[in-house]
Amino acid sequence: MKWHDNVVRLQAPVCITWQITNKCNLRCIHCLANSSKRKPDELTMEEIKAFLDDLAAMHVFYINVGGGEPLLHPNFFEIADYAEEKGVYIQFSTNGTLINRDIAKMIAERNLRVQVSLDGWKQEINDHIRGAGTFDKAINAVQLLIERKVVVSVNCVVTKSNIKDLDNIYQLVISLGAKLRLSRLRPSGRAMESTERWRELSPDSQQYVYLYHWLKEHPDVNTGDSFFFLSALGEPLPGLSYCGAWDLTCSVDPQGNIYPCPFTVTSNLLVGNIRNKPLSKWWQELPVITQISGEESPVCTACANYPKCHGGCRGASYLVYGDWNKPDPDCLKRVSLDQQGS
Amino acid sequence: MMNNIKLDSRYAIPAGIKYRYEDFGGIVYRRHDDKLFFLNSRTAIDLLDLASTGTVQEIVGMLGQLKMPKEKIENQVLKILNSLKELGIIYEVA
């Protein structure tokens, strides 16, 4: 069986993740995009408008704008206005450090949705990952946005160091009037300087089992479907149970390069560039990407849990094993079998 | 208990709903809770396209113009509309 056979391929992506700039004022140790300075050949406004025109024509519903830090893009609000004019929703991720009263007002006026990053419920945990002073600034940003009635979610990348405090971060976020979103630490960007480094930062198997049960008890916590590999542990988590890369979604980097998802930003998985051809053309002409259309691992297809997780995150498999079709590197099948005494 | 949509009802799509056709029918995105619905019926998407254009009976007539036999689809249309209403994708206009 090919893993791709499990997936309904849409005529256009539901959403796009767009790294609007590589420029960032922080150097988070797990940054998936390895962001730092603006790249010299990032898309021009003219190219960005053509890109947004194309997304609107494809009926893409929304864009997850990330970076880098989107608020460091000199035309961020102009771009948001253009997308709005074209009928494409924008939601963006920010580290929150640049949000003051004026910026909060501009965000509120545009009805943009914001995701503020916070990786711990207290300063020492968060700032160890995101840098000194970032905890206070992120909290301040959330408060300013909530005052303006902006829909805010606080995104926490789950790591070995913060997973034990999920109850605390949940309480903190709820008390601020925001929603909590938890994301999986993918083996990409700075978190993947080496596989050992990623393993060092990632939750271990027992912690993931804990997370599965915690998520079942907190259905109001959004995960962006990033933990569907945990569904192998029992009753499936809500949302997608398979990888939607290049079937439901894709990612575009600041220079217009297209990748199956925001975690697989690697030259081997480069689909193309929107400077050469609009995304809609790439989407139609390349229904399957050769590198990711291979046979599913027999280890997965023989597993009783396969219908619940479909092998997990394909990008994680690729980035750790160099093979899109291997089982998810955090597969907990062994854990569940152990727990059952098999 | 929710009142069912009838042939003389009118319906509309709330703000924040987007939809499009797909080979299997269509998909609907609801902004306020980020929910995505896969609908295995092109008629359902036709009905979203025709929202706020008349009563259900008039809309059935419009579907007829689209070469769909009216007698066969009347019950089907009501069934689809009530499902869409239950999902929060449309609402009945008073």
Q: What is the ipTM of this complex?
A: 0.89
Beta-carbon pairs below 8 A across chains A and B: 22
Per-residue pLDDT tens for A31-68?
Answer: 988 899 999 999 999 999 999 999 999 999 999 999 89
Flag if B20 and A11 touch (Cβ within 8 Å).
Answer: yes
Taking residues A95-124, report their average pLDDT. Answer: 97
CA distance B18 to chain A (A): 7
CA distance A256 to chain B (A): 25
State the pLDDT at residue A337. Answer: 45
Per-residue pLDDT tens for A135-145?
Answer: 999 999 999 99
d(CA A276, CA A272): 8
> Which residues pair with residue A153 across a beta bridge?
A115, A179
Q: Is the pTM of this model over 0.80?
A: yes
CA distance A11 to chain B (A): 6
From B24, B29, B38, residue closest to A61, measured CB to CB: B29
What is the pLDDT confidence band of residue A291, given thresholds at 50, 70 and 90? low
Flag if A12 and B38 touch (Cβ within 8 Å).
Answer: no
- Give, in order, the Cα–Cα distances in Å from A68 to each of A71, A97, A136, A178, A189: 9, 13, 20, 23, 12
**B18 and chain A: CB distance < 8 Å anywhere?**
yes
User: Does the pLDDT at position A295 exceed 80?
Assistant: no
Taking residues B24-46, report their average pLDDT. Answer: 93
Closest to A22 measured CA to CA, from A14, A32, A34, A10: A34
- What average pLDDT is seen over chain A? 91
Taking residues A228-248, report their average pLDDT. Answer: 89
User: Does the pLDDT at position A104 exceed 90?
Assistant: yes
One-letter amino acid at B56 equals V
Flag if B21 and A8 touch (Cβ within 8 Å).
Answer: no
Question: What are the start-end ranges of the H helices in B1-94?
Answer: 42-49, 56-65, 70-87
Contact residues, chain B, for A221 at CB < 8 Å: none
Beta-carbon contacts of B21 under 8 Å, excluding residues fewer than 6 positions away, are: A11, B42, B45
- Report the residue of chain A nearest B21, measured CA to CA: A11
| Low-confidence winner among A86-90, A185-189, A214-218, B15-19 (lowest mean pLDDT) | A185-189
Flag if B20 and A222 touch (Cβ within 8 Å).
Answer: no
From A11, A14, A222, residue closest to B36, measured CB to CB: A14
State the pLDDT at residue A338. Answer: 46
Higher pLDDT, A157 or A323: A157
User: Does the pLDDT at position A288 exceed 70?
Assistant: yes
Say which DSSP state A76 is in: H
- The answer to whether A261 and A183 have CB atoms below 8 angstroms apart is no
Contact residues, chain A, for B22 at CB < 8 Å: 10-11
From A8, A11, A14, residue closest to B29, measured CB to CB: A14
What is the pLDDT confidence band of residue A266, given thresholds at 50, 70 and 90? confident
User: Does the pLDDT at position A155 exceed 80?
Assistant: yes
**B37 and chain A: CB distance < 8 Å anywhere?**
no
